[in-house]
């Protein structure tokens, strides 16, 4: 069985982006239940020299949606970072990333397989194939920022667990039985 470029990217990003949307919703419910303010999470950090929560959400959104867009365009060009914003705006950003991912068609992404990408990413110029870009750059960065966002919420008392991070697993329809 062959795994396609689409299968490596879009459903993988969607699984976690949907999970992130879910644990952001859970953070709002937690604040409603405890009298907290979700905006208090926006600048929270795990450690003083780490980027804040809002950056984690922006970065994971960019690596997911714009990582896949890069396969088509050959340019990694996500929108510029916005910075601190209301928690509701971070939720909307995740929603936009999810919608963008849902808009990619299997055939358009699979047609990019084997494509060589010569990318300027920050100060570095890096050459990838479409597959190595997704597997060695976008997915690792995406998961780093997604788990860091999860950890910031968890450290700040939001009652989420591993299954919240996993999201909906892509199991066989009948459970494989």
Tens of pLDDT, residue by residue over 79-92, are 777 888 999 999 99
What are the tens digits of pLDDT across the range 11-64?
A: 999 999 999 999 999 999 999 999 999 999 999 999 999 999 999 999 999 999
pLDDT number for residue 176:
57
pLDDT (average), residues 3-10: 92
C-alpha distances in angstroms, 76 versus 32, 67, 73, 176?
A: 38, 7, 8, 38
Residues facing residue 124 across a β-bridge: 121
CB atoms within 10 A of CB 98: 19
Distance CA 5, CA 107 (A): 10
Question: What percent of the chain is modeled with pLDDT above 90?
Answer: 74
Q: What angle do CA 67, 115, 140 make, to 5 degrees?
A: 35
Q: Is 35 in a helix, a strand, or coil?
A: coil
**pLDDT higher than threshold 70 for residue 177:** no
Quote the mean pLDDT of the chain: 91
pLDDT (average), residues 107-127: 89
pTM of the model: 0.91
């Amino acid at each position: 069985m062959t795994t396609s470029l689409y299968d490596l990217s879009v459903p993988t990003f969607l699984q976690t982006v949907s999970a992130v949307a879910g644990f952001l919703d859970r953070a709002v419910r937690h604040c409603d239940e405890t009298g907290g303010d979700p905006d208090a999470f926006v600048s929270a950090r795990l450690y003083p020299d780490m980027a804040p929560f809002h950056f984690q959400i922006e970065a994971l959104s960019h690596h997911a949606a714009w990582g896949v867009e890069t396969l088509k365009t050959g340019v990694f060009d996500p929108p510029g970072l916005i910075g601190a914003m209301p928690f509701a705006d971070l939720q909307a950003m995740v929603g936009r990333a999810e919608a963008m991912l849902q808009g990619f068609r299997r055939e358009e992404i699979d047609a990019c397989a084997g494509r060589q990408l010569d990318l300027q990413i920050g100060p570095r110029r890096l050459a990838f194939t479409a597959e190595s870009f997704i597997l060695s750059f976008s997915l690792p960065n995406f998961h780093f920022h997604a788990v860091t966002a999860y950890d910031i919420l968890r450290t700040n008392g939001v009652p989420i667990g591993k299954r919240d991070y996993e999201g909906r697993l892509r199991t066989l329809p009948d459970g494989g039985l």
